[in-house]
Amino acid sequence: MKPTEKAEFSFMTASRWFASIVAEKNTGVQLSLLAQGLGVLTTGLIHMSTGLRATYMLLEEVKAAADRQRAQPQSIAAGSQRAS
């Protein structure tokens, strides 16, 4: 499971915990559900940040490859002009 998929799962789980708080009448149970929901929410945020960091790292690799590819034709053209 990818980090962003884990995040989505955690956010959905937290949502269920928070929804069940509304149905509870016992304050002690509500606080327990709130704590559990917040715990799962923070786990989702951690997974989301991991996924975003991985995405930005990959984007940097793609950008560097594109820059290298763009620079390569210029050096080939410069070499062919010297040969003439």
Least confident of 4-18, 27-41, 64-78: 64-78
Tell me the backbone φ, ψ of residue 2, rounded to 5 degrees. Answer: -70, 155
Between residues 30 and 67, the one the model is more confident about = 67
b/e map 55-67, b = 16+ CB within 10 Å: eeeeeeeeeeeee
Note the pLDDT tens digit of each residue in 45-76. 998 888 888 888 999 999 999 999 988 866 56
pLDDT at 3: 84
12 and 43 in contact (C-beta within 8 Å)? no
